[in-house]
Amino acid sequence: MPMEQEPQAQSERKLRHILDPGSPLCREDVVWALDYIKKKVADEDSALAELSQPRLLKNYRGFAEAAMSLLASPRTGPLEADRLRGMLREALHGLKKQG
């Protein structure tokens, strides 16, 4: 695997772990995912250009809700973890490989 693909592969593995309902979810995981999204937007990732404006708004809503959730409650129980995963899935739509 070429060197530039290794960090991308690590990110994909990390995202799969974070979004896996069977894995524990901690605050640091959510912060990592939000930072990943922020970097994709800042780098003007080409995947974003392929998304429609309504889809981009849904992504933003998921991002904002996840961020506000962390501010409102620093603890994540099982129900909150499921809710956060849903928000992150919404925010990551189109930015990660499906599968």
Per-residue pLDDT of the chain (99 residues; tens, 9 = 90+): 455 578 888 999 999 999 999 999 999 999 999 999 999 999 999 999 999 999 999 999 999 999 999 998 867 677 789 999 999 999 999 987 654
DSSP letter (8 states) at residue 21: T
Mutual angle of helices 78-92 and 27-42, in 10-degree steps: 10
CB atoms within 10 A of CB 94: 18
Residue 77 confidence (pLDDT): 74
pLDDT at 1: 47
pTM for the full predicted model: 0.86
pLDDT at 2: 56
pLDDT value for 99? 46
Q: Are 97 and 33 in contact (CB under 8 A)?
A: no
